[in-house]
Amino acid sequence: MRIVYMGTPNFAVPALEKLAEAGVSIPLVITQPDKPKDRGKKLQAPPVKEVAEKLGIPVLQPESLRGNTELFEAIKACEPDLIVVAAYGRILPQEILSIPRGGCINLHGSLLPKYRGAAPIQRAVLEGAEETGVTLMYMSQGMDEGDMIAVVKTPVDKKTAGELFEELATAGAALLIENLPELIAGTAKREKQNENEATYAPMINKKDGLIDFGKSAEEIERQIRGMDPWPAAFTYYNGEPLKLLAAIANPNDVVSGAQAGEILSVDEKGIRIATGIGSLTVTKLQMAGKKAMEVFAYIKGNKIEIGTVLG
């Protein structure tokens, strides 16, 4: 069994590691180009590249896929039975989809057809989904529209997007290995997606982290969890950026005579803030240029002014 693997972030690492542990031949890994990180703009390799190099697997990092004859020939030369994709970050052209004998398989971080697209895990948190999961699927030219092979589910509860990324990455890797014998034999099942139930999960941008305190406390609490670890939910305190990293929604808290975003109280339990419906108690924050801190620790050496309106 020869598998070409395509993936980029940490989400894609466990599946690559599990395939290697299972003794599958992986002649090539394809990932995104190295990108500048932080203020120093030093180039950083994607997590999948780092793992592939440790495993001794050749890596290609094409700038683009479409019309890339050199890449197509490199994949063909591997004679792959399957191409396995996990959070690669680009739509595969038909030239690649048609190469492997057994097709192209994708690990998608949602219960399809819900949350097709670039940010399924974050959107599930933001929209208050009760459960999410990973779908193992055959790839087609449409975005996450291919036939489903198998799914694994998990409750969202009060998990952050970051926590779900780790959980689903591990669950997705196990799901892939569990279904590998059928994939190798060509007997894996195919279930059509219900197009009437399809929803989309567009890419997350930094501006998605900006908090509108006119929304309900529950919506904002989900935003804080959904924006973890990036870009982080944020607002402004006296004109300076302030990240809100953890909070508790108080939907039944009756707040009268206060503006949305107004700081109502500050104590060891947290910073209580008026919202459009109810209030929000922030328990962890990060001021500009400072490290992330629990509120009870932060207020021991810093003052938060009651009555200040955030935003």
- Tens digits of residue pLDDT in 253-276: 999 999 999 999 999 999 999 999
Report the C-alpha gap between 73 and 100 in whole angstroms: 12
Report the C-alpha gap between 135 and 85 in whole angstroms: 12
Contact between residue 65 and residue 40 where contact means Cβ atoms under 8 Å apart: no
Report the C-alpha gap between 78 and 99 in whole angstroms: 10
Question: What stretch of H or E contains 21?
Answer: helix 13-21
Both structure tokens of 64: 């683009």
Question: What stretch of H or E contains 181?
Answer: helix 161-185
Q: What is the pLDDT along the chain (311 residues), one digit of tens a residue?
A: 999 999 999 999 999 999 999 999 999 999 999 998 876 678 999 999 999 999 999 999 999 999 999 999 999 999 999 999 999 999 999 999 999 999 999 999 999 999 999 999 999 999 999 999 999 999 998 899 999 999 999 999 999 999 999 999 999 999 999 999 999 999 999 999 999 999 999 999 999 999 999 999 999 999 999 999 999 999 999 999 999 999 999 999 999 999 999 999 999 999 999 999 999 999 999 999 999 999 999 999 999 999 999 99
State the Cα angle at 130 between 127 and 131, rounded to 5°: 105
DSSP state of 309: B
- If we measure between CA atoms, which residue out of 245, 251, 222, 226 comes closest to residue 291? 245
Domain residue limits, the chain: 2-197, 206-298
Identify the three-state secondary structure at position 268: coil
Identify the three-state secondary structure at position 169: helix
Within 8 A by CB and 6+ apart from 182, the residues are 188, 189
Report the C-alpha gap between 22 and 42 in whole angstroms: 35
Which is it for the CA torsion 289, 294, 299, 304, positive or negative?
positive
Give the pLDDT confidence of 137-170 residue by residue, as tens digits: 999 988 999 999 999 999 999 999 999 999 999 9
Distance of CA 40 to the CA centre of its chain: 25
Compute the radius of gyration of the chain from its Cα atoms: 22
Distance of CA 271 to the CA centre of its chain: 28
Report the C-alpha gap between 155 and 303 in whole angstroms: 38
Q: What is the pTM of this model?
A: 0.94
Identify the three-state secondary structure at position 130: coil
**273 phi/psi in degrees, rounded to 5:** -125, 135
Architecture of domain 206-298: Roll (3.10)
Report the C-alpha gap between 168 and 170 in whole angstroms: 5
Contact between residue 54 and residue 20 where contact means Cβ atoms under 8 Å apart: no
Both structure tokens of 107: 């690990």
- If we measure between CA atoms, which residue out of 239, 2, 197, 205 comes closest to residue 102? 2
Report the C-alpha gap between 65 and 72 in whole angstroms: 9
Which is it for the CA torsion 186, 72, 66, 83, positive or negative?
positive
Domain 2-197 sits in CATH 3.40.50.170: yes
